[in-house]
Structures are given as C-alpha cells and as structure tokens.
Amino acid sequence: MFNGSRSQHLQTQMLYLGGLIGPMASQTLIAMVPDMAVTFGKTVQEASFVVTLYMIPFASLMLFSSALVRYTAPHTVIKWAYALTFIGSLICFLAPTWTMFLSGVLVMSVSNAFTLPILQIILRNTVPAGQLGQALGRYFAMQSLGNCAGPLVAGAASIVNWKLMHVAVMALAGLMVVVGVPASQRIPKSTVKEKVAWGTMIIHILTVLAVGVSIIGMTTVLTIHLQSVFGMPASTRGLVIMVGGLAAFFFAPKIGASVDRYGALKILTACAVTGAIAVASMAHLPWAIGIAVLWGIAMTSAQGLQTTVSYSVLRTPGGAGFNAVVLSARFFGLALTPLLILPIYLSSVTLGFTVPALVLMVALALQWGASKRPR
C-alpha cells in the first residue's frame, strides 16, 4: 500500500482504473462492428469506419497531451477528460442515427487521448520512487485487462442490447470524476536537449506502426471473420478476442525478463516471426478454438514487440523525448487496419491474413538492417 491518507490511497487506485477504461472503451467499439452495421443499416466495411474515427484523433492528440500539463494541473485535465468520456458514451448510448453515434465516438476519442499519457505522469509523481516499477507494471496489467474486458462486456451487453456496453463505460468514467486522482503539479518544460538518432528512431516508429496494423488492429478483421465463417454471436466472439488480452496479461512479465537476459533484437525477432505465423495461420483454420489459441499467441507477440521496441527507444540517443510518438504509432496502425487490411480480407480471406504477416516481416528486416549500422 502506498503512503498517504485513505483518500489519497483511493485516488491512487483510480489511476489504475483509468488504465483499464480507455482500452475497454475502444475494444467494445471494435467488437461490436457487425452489430453496428445491422443497427444503423450499414455494410460491415462502412461500420468499421468507427475504428478509424476513434483511433486517428486519439493517436494524433496524444502527441500534444504532455504539452497541455505544462499549463494545467494534470489531475484537472484527467477530471475533464473523463467528464467528456461520460458525455461521449451517453451520446453513443442514446444515438438514434449513425451520424449522432459517430459524434459520440469522436468525443470519446478526443477525451481518451489525454488520459493514457497523463495518468502515467501522475502515477510517476504519486508513488515512491522505489515502487515506481511495480506501479507501472500494475498499470500496464490493467490496460491488458481492459483490452480483454472490452469484448466480454460488449458481448454480454449484446444479449439484451449492444448499446448497453456504453453504460459500463459511463459508470467507470463517472467514478473517475467523482473520486478523482491524486493532485499533481504542472510539469515544467524540460531544458534538456539530446541529439536524436533519426534513422533508428523512424524504424522503431514504423515497427510499432506495423504491430498496430498487423496484430492489434486485426481485432476488427477477426471479429468479422468469426461472424461470417463460424456464425458466432457477439457474446462468443468476445470470449475469443478476450483470449488475446489474457495471454498478453499473463506473459508480458516473462517477455520483459527475457529482453534483459537475451537482448532486445533476439526477442523482437522471435516475437515477429511467431506473430506472423500465428496471424497467417488463422486464414483457413476450421476450428474456432484453434483461432482463439493463435490469437493469444499473436497478441502475446504484439506485447513482446512493443516491449522490445520501447526498451530500444529508451536506449537510443534522444529516445526519452519520443515515447509519446512511438506510443501513438501503435494507435495509428490500429486505425489504418480497417482502411488497408479489411478491403483485402473482403476480397480474399487468405490475403487478408497473409499481408499483415508480411508487414511484420518487413518491419523485422528493417530492425535487422538498423542493427548492422555502426553506432
């Protein structure tokens, strides 16, 4: 337990809850794309635009979120962000038209862009320095839990009405507003400037972008695949998707330890190859349980790829100032999947899973090329 009053302790726990809300909100939207299409009279491809609409503003505004807390106290930004999340979820829940529903999604996207990085800033300022690693580990575990809880919540809600999933998001966002998070001072503008290894940094960004397109963003394609090929209802699809989040949740600590022991490039290679094989193998596998296992392997590989890239970024000259950029690349990739990969899948199931696997191999080749350059 962290030092401080009971109120301070409760507000600290809200930081971890915040780590769950954003991923859960986005994953509920992704899991319900086929149901949205039916409700609003859209094709599946048209309905999948909701993913892009959420992710592009989310990833773009995240780049500027750290600058905001130089002028406004972080805990104040968080309170307003979750108030907007509540409003956006309410709009989605009540929306009678597709346009109104998309406006609610846009509000949620903008608000959540300011929660992910700022919650981590407050966490860093709140917990004792000797407990920061443990606290961050718990925070990222809650993010993984949110990723797997989203499809499950959406699937359970769909038994009555899929829009009820927004009630769960409203309840959690409302709790964040009422309880609040620990007070934190504005962040002073850093005066430290480092020379950036631009070539290596760009390759790291492209690698995370590839992970977003080829694995994390494939949730949209997999959801459609499970419905069209196996005829799965939303509740069952949610269970399959949840396997990926649970696998990443349990195996992430082991991957991190392996990076320390064997080096980032070796683990990155193993994760890229394993993830590519798992994604490509989903194309014609006739057993849903087999696809669930492969999805668990793919998401664990994605976690490993992100871990190794983050490890490398922090050890790259000027890398400390690029964490937000690298983090946002993942979400840009997720947003691009419905635009780039879904049309390929709809024309050819085989290519729909093979092309993402090839993208991962290209990213791996770039990483190996960068490793051969003299430092």
Q: Who contacts 261 (Cβ-Cβ below 8 Å, separation ≥6)?
A: none
CB–CB of 60/112 below 8 Å? no
CB–CB of 70/186 below 8 Å? yes
- Residues 98-136 have pLDDT tens digits of 999 999 999 999 998 888 778 877 877 787 755 555 566
Which of these, 64, 65, 36, lies nearest to 50 by C-alpha position? 36
- Residues 30-59 have pLDDT tens digits of 888 888 999 999 988 888 889 888 888 887
The residue to which tokens 């791996």 are assigned: 364
Round to whole Å and give the CA distance between 116 and 327: 10
Question: Domains, the chain, ranges and CATH?
Answer: 1-189 (1.20.1250.20), 194-375 (1.20.1250.20)
C-alpha 288 chain-centroid distance: 24
Q: Who contacts 126 (Cβ-Cβ below 8 Å, separation ≥6)?
A: 2, 12, 15, 182, 184
Q: Is the pLDDT of residue 88 over 90?
A: yes
Q: Given pLDDT bands bounded at 50, 70 and 90, which one contains residue 188?
A: low
| Mean model confidence pLDDT for the chain | 83
Report residue 347 as tokens: 């024309």
- Rg of the chain over Cα atoms, rounded to whole angstroms, equals 20
Residue 320: predicted pLDDT: 47
> Would the pTM count as exceeding 0.75?
no
Q: Is the pLDDT of residue 357 over 90?
A: yes
Q: Which of 90-94, 157-161, 260-264 has the highest mean pLDDT?
A: 90-94
Q: Is the pLDDT of residue 189 over 60?
A: no
- Tell me the average pLDDT across 63-68: 74
- Tell me the average pLDDT across 250-260: 73
- Residues 335-344 have pLDDT tens digits of 788 889 999 9
